């Protein structure tokens, strides 16, 4: 059993900081999920025009000066806000923390597109004379931003880097934090994922060209995974950072513990640029279960990845049916139906939204599931209304990305 590991090898979540389209902290986000409150709204972006998106409304100036916001990036601001909130939530005595022992691991789907598009747009007024190109371009677009912006803001001198893992990135950030703690490389990890994707017209235009951008006259009903009338992805921004610590150290300081990372896995489809491979997704879930020393029947809640695309949802359902079969006790839900697809932040946000089920015993629903697609039939899929559960002690969190990158994180109640 996982609990038989020594406490210094057991990694727990002690802090959560987030911004989502329907909440800027975990209690607000959780209430929105339980009350069926969508964060999708009408949105207009340069060149592409009117569309729908999940838009965050956090206070950028809570932890940054205006000059820092202008110099940096939207992803950096999201990461700083979430990291600072996670530290506060964890109750760390931050002024006295040895910051050389803290690591920062941030998952991203992409980074730099927003800044590059904006800078080229501004350069037009100078007839594309590159002598007017922003000297901030390089630090804004290097791959270690936004983790680097968090490091500068917090004065963290331990390792920091981003992990490019497409839409599996939020889980990838968590997994990296766990591994570094178990290796003894750090004593605390700030990890998760961020996305600023709604501020680039290119992502909307690309999904539209692919025929995978959601449309609906009612923005709140546009994101509808597993529904027969789904027609694509609602792009969202957002972020979620966790504080991870060793169980021994968390207990020593009397920290509140949200849950323990019991198992995880990442693998690759090696199959296609876009189309998922259900067999590889199933293998990823099975490997995470094996590492957690749990059977599928012992998982109480599955947070699904489904984005609302016609083919992608079906492929994940094939994988889920393979792993969980006809189990009548495992309940499944989907958070993207509320906020859209927050790309690199998706896995972290979706895990965070479900963590309170360990204490309140409630599974939030999948909204907009009005006409379930027969091809997406899943025993235990919770539609439209939250459910009180007889127990919630284990959560399996799916997060899959383009070019066939898959990630699964399993958390258990401590």
Domains of the chain, by residue range, sit at 2-252, 264-412
Cα separation, 257 vs 225, in Å, equals 31
> Domain 264-412: which CATH class?
alpha beta
Between strands 394-401 and 301-303, the pairing is: parallel
Alpha helices in 130-195 (DSSP H): 137-141, 147-154, 169-182
Beta strands (DSSP E) in 46-169 are 49-54, 102-108, 160-164
pLDDT for position 242: 99
Q: What is the mean pLDDT of each run of 10 residues along the chain (414 residues)?
A: 76 98 98 98 96 98 97 97 98 97 97 92 95 94 96 98 97 98 98 97 96 97 98 98 98 98 98 95 98 96 98 97 86 98 98 98 98 95 96 98 97 98
pLDDT of residue 326: 67
Q: Which of 111, 199, 341, 364 is catalytic?
A: 341
Nearest one of 239, 190, 221 to 352, comparing CA atoms = 239
Of 82, 111, 160, 167, the active-site residue reads 167
Continuous H helices in 258-308: 278-292
Asked if 381 and 330 touch (Cβ cutoff 8 Å), the reply is no
2-252 matches 264-412 in fold: yes
Active site residue 305: yes
Please report the pLDDT score of residue 328 as a whole number: 75
Q: Which of 388, 342, 397, 394 is nearest to 171 (CA)?
A: 397
**Whole-prediction pTM:** 0.97
CA gyration radius, the chain: 20
Q: What is the pLDDT of residue 1?
A: 42
CB 190 within 8 A of CB 102: yes
Phi first, then psi: give them for residue 397, nearest 5 degrees.
Answer: -115, 115
CATH of 2-252, one of 3.40.47.10, 3.30.450.20, 3.40.190.10, 3.10.290.10: 3.40.47.10
Helix axes 74-90, 147-154, angle to 10 degrees: 50
Could you give the count of Cα atoms lying within 13 Å of 109 in the half-sphere of its Cβ? 30
Q: Which of 160, 199, 305, 364 is catalytic?
A: 305
**167 given a catalytic annotation:** yes
Residue 283, pLDDT score: 98
Spatial separation of the C-alpha atoms in residues 128 and 209, rounded to whole Å: 28
Instruction: Give, in order, the Cα–Cα distances in Å from 89 to each of 17, 117, 243, 332.
Output: 7, 35, 9, 27
pLDDT of residue 253: 96
DSSP-based three-state secondary structure for 43: strand
């Amino acid at each position: 059993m996982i609990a038989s590991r020594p406490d210094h090898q057991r990694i727990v979540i002690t802090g959560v900081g987030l911004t989502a389209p329907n909440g800027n902290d975990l209690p607000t986000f959780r209430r929105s999920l339980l009350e069926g409150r969508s964060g999708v709204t009408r949105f207009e972006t340069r060149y592409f025009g009117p569309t729908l998106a999940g838009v965050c409304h956090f206070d950028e100036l809570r932890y940054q000066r205006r000059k820092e916001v202008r110099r940096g990036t939207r992803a950096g601001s999201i990461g700083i806000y979430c990291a600072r909130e996670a530290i506060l939530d964890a109750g760390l005595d931050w002024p006295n923390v040895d910051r050389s022992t803290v690591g920062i691991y941030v998952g991203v789907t992409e980074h730099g597109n927003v800044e590059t598009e904006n800078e080229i747009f501004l350069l037009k007024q100078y007839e594309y004379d590159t002598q007017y190109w922003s000297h901030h371009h390089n630090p804004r677009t290097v791959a270690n931003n936004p983790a680097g912006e968090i490091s500068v803001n917090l004065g963290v001198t331990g390792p920091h880097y981003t992990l490019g893992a497409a839409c599996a990135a939020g889980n990838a950030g968590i997994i990296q934090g766990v591994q570094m703690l178990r290796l003894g490389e750090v004593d605390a990890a700030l990890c998760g994922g961020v996305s600023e994707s709604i501020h680039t017209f290119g992502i909307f235009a690309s999904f539209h060209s692919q025929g995978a951008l959601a449309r609906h006259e009612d923005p709140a009903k546009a994101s509808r995974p597993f529904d027969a009338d789904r027609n694509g992805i609602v792009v969202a921004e957002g972020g979620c950072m966790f504080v991870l610590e060793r169980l021994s150290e968390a207990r020593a300081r009397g920290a509140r513990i949200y849950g323990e990372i019991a198992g995880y896995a990442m693998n690759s489809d090696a199959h296609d640029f876009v189309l998922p491979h259900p067999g590889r997704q199933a293998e990823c879930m099975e490997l995470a279960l094996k590492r957690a020393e749990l059977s599928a029947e012992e998982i109480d809640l599955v947070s699904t990845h489904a984005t609302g695309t016609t083919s992608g949802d079906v492929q994940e359902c094939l994988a889920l049916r393979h792993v969980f079969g006809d189990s009548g006790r495992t309940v499944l839900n989907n958070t993207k139906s509320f906020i859209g697809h927050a790309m690199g932040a998706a896995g972290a946000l979706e895990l965070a939204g479900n963590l309170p089920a360990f204490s309140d015993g409630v599974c939030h629903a999948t909204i907009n599931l009005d006409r379930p697609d027969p091809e997406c039939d899943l025993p235990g899929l919770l539609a439209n209304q939250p459910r009180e559960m007889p127990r919630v002690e284990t959560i399996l969190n799916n997060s899959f990305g383009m070019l066939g990158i898959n990630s699964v994180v399993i958390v258990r109640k401590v």
